[in-house]
Structure 1
Amino acid sequence: MTKIKLALCQMNVIDNKEENIKTASLMIDKSVSKNADFIVLPEMFNCPYSNDKFIEYGEEEKDSYTLNKISLLAKKNNVYILAGSIPEKDNGKLYNTSYLFDKAGNIIAKHRKMHLFDIDVKGEITFKESDVLTAGDSFTIAETDFGKIGIGICYDIRFPELARVMVENGALILFYPGAFNMTTGPAHWELLFRSRALDNQVFCVGVAPALNKDASYHSFGHSIIASPWGEIIAEASEKENLILCEIDLDEIKKVREELPLLKNKREDLYEVIKK
């Protein structure tokens, strides 16, 4: 299976968990009706992007209302779903965690955001996830019917070492559910997705919440797919939108033969150590 139809669900997230999951469910149903193979939800798709809301909306994996709903949808529709991320509670700690469901509704991978979003852009935006969240410490590569994929979350994309480790371990598509803001988004969102795709000659996918001007945190939106050649092949605006796009993994082999970056690395001088 080399051709995959991706569905990027850029949903409007509000301060109501049940309504958010209803919106996600409707977008998943629409994606299925368009024959999507792999559906992706945004970072923190069940709650507003805010430290106090992470605490309020946090769920334990074993009895998560959100994850149970997504599991049933994956199984019912026989489709992969990458459940963006949710605030996950575990042993008194809170994580920003993404879950991948297979076509039987089983969790086959989970990624806890490794690099926490602690920034202070003077006069623009200050945010410190580490005030309430704990960082993950594991790389996440999952096996699917069409090969291996890598999973990061938002700020993780700024660290090229993580992308390279995932690709060195066989990932053909890198997924980063994210929620860049109206300062960092216009400056860096497209650039980062094109760069990680180009550096590693893979497809790189970002799925964000839509811009909600009533929220305290304003998401840039612009869910995106970049090709192994570093081109943008699909991108949304800031509004709620469902992107459906077919990609062909054979393009990876073609690009790597034409421009053999990974073969031409000087591993006698440097290397990425795989753990």
Structure 2
Amino acid sequence: MDLRAVVLGGIEGGVDLTPLRNVFKLHDLSPTHPKTNKAFRLALIQLQVSSVKSDNLTRACGLIWEAAKQGAKIVSLPECFNSPYGTKYFPEYAEKIPGDSTQKLSEVAKECSIYVIGGSIPEEDAGKLYNTCAVFGPDGTLLVKHRKLHLFDIDVPGKITFQESKTLSPGDSFSTFDTPYCRVGLGICYDIRFAELAQIYAQRGCQLLVYPAAFNLTTGPAHWELLQRGRAVDNQVYVATASPARDDKASYVAWGHSTVVSPWGEVLVKAGTEETIVYSDIDLKKLAEIRQQIPIFSQKRSDLYAVEAKKP
């Protein structure tokens, strides 16, 4: 007997199987799901960010064009791609959305007919500042705007102290968008440390999680790859992180090493520290196979525990 067919059928022997049917649908486990077997090329741009915003925008758009020429269908920029990363810089470089930076991303997305995940920029809205990622579709339309949910406030004695909350406010919503290939969930940097966010995205059918991020020389070597592999394996999704290139003269030195990890936890590609573009061909058929081989979604003990979204 085909258990999947029985479950998707709804009733068997008088037993209502709607809850199980919803699990299969929720996690895109049906073999007939139109997106399951598609493959596409993802590109991560590891941009060398300077203090000159116009130069950052010009270089970013040029690299997006290059990625599109190489067949990328989804391209991501790094966190704070248009400005140096630091609390003193956020107010100086902040823009409205739409604004100059996001307008240029909209134009290049349309010109290249691709999806552009706009890393992040300091956003000003109603007197508050946010660390915000804007995503544009192949027609240049703004698809979603993700404001960093978890602000980077840490104190590692003798190594690094940073407090984003001095100038930034946190976002308060989940951010996903659909493509012909898969559903994508968004986080920014520190968001990756919170497993619940990734779990909710998986519950909502995401197959790829993208985190524009700027880890540093303390947290980078310790946790950068570990967190990505953890989120990927726990949720059976692809995970991608786009970092700025390393600038040893900057006040905040980014770790670099933009990475793509498979649902099996394999590092598919990892950049060095220099400005570059890394590519990975995302195989959704492989993802479906992993979910079938190790069916953790249907095995969760929802009678014992749950991760719950308190907002849509």
2:197 is equivalent to residue 197 of structure 1: no
Q: Give the equivalent residue in structure 1 for 2:202.
A: 167
Please provide the CA RMSD for this pair.
0.8
Whether 1:48 and 2:68 are equivalent positions in the alignment is no
Q: CA offsets, 1:178-223, max 9 Å, x none?
A: 0000000000000000000000000000000000112100000000
Check if 1:30 corresponds to 2:66: yes
CA distance in 2, matches of 1:4, 1:146: 7
Structure 2: stretches of 5+ with no match in the other structure? 1-34
**Aligned-partner Cα distance in 1 for 2:288–2:182:** 13
1:177 aligned partner: 212
Q: How does 1:30-109 map to 2 (within 5 A)?
A: 30-62=66-98, 64-109=99-144
Instruction: Tell me the alpha carbon deviations over residues 134-190 of structure 1, each in whole angstroms, 9 at most, x when there is no partner.
Output: 000101111222121100000000000000001101111000000000000000000
Residue 260 in structure 1 maps to residue 295 in structure 2: yes
Aligned to 2:223: 188
After superposition, give the CA deviation of every residue in 1:107-151 in whole Å (9 maximum; x if it has no partner): 101100000000001100000000000000101111222121100
CA distance in 1, matches of 2:97, 2:176: 19
Distance 1:141 1:170 in 2: 9
Normalised to the residue count of structure 2, the TM-score between the two structures is 0.87
Letter of the structure 2 residue corresponding to residue 30 of structure 1:
E
Larger fraction in strand? 1
In structure 1, stretches of 5+ residues that fail to align are none
Letter in 2 for 1:19: D
State how 1:189-268 maps to structure 2 within 5 Å: 189-268=224-303
Cα deviation, 1:12-56, whole Å, max 9, x if unaligned, reads 001010010111011111101111101000000000001111110
Matched, 1:5 2:41: yes
Q: Structure 1 vs Structure 2: percent identity of aligned residues?
A: 46
Query: Cα offset for 1:88?
Result: 0.4
Query: Which SS does the other structure have where 1:263 is aligned?
Result: helix
Counterparts of 1:257 and 1:170 in 2: how far apart (Å)?
Answer: 15
**Displaced runs of 4+ in structure 1, greater than 2 A?**
none
What residue identity is the alignment partner of 2:200?
V
SS in 2 for 1:244: strand
Q: How does 1:97-176 map to 2 (within 5 A)?
A: 97-176=132-211
Does residue 21 (structure 1) correspond to residue 62 (structure 2)? The answer is no
SS at match of 2:41: strand
- Per-residue deviation, residues 40-97 of structure 1 (Å, max 9, x unmatched): 00000000001111110000013x1100111000001101000000000000000000
**What TM-score does the superposition give when structure 1 sets the normalisation length?**
0.98
* Aligned partner letter, 1:97: T
Residue type of the partner of 1:56?
E
Letter aligned with residue 85 of structure 1: S
The one-letter code matched in structure 1 to 2:68 is: V
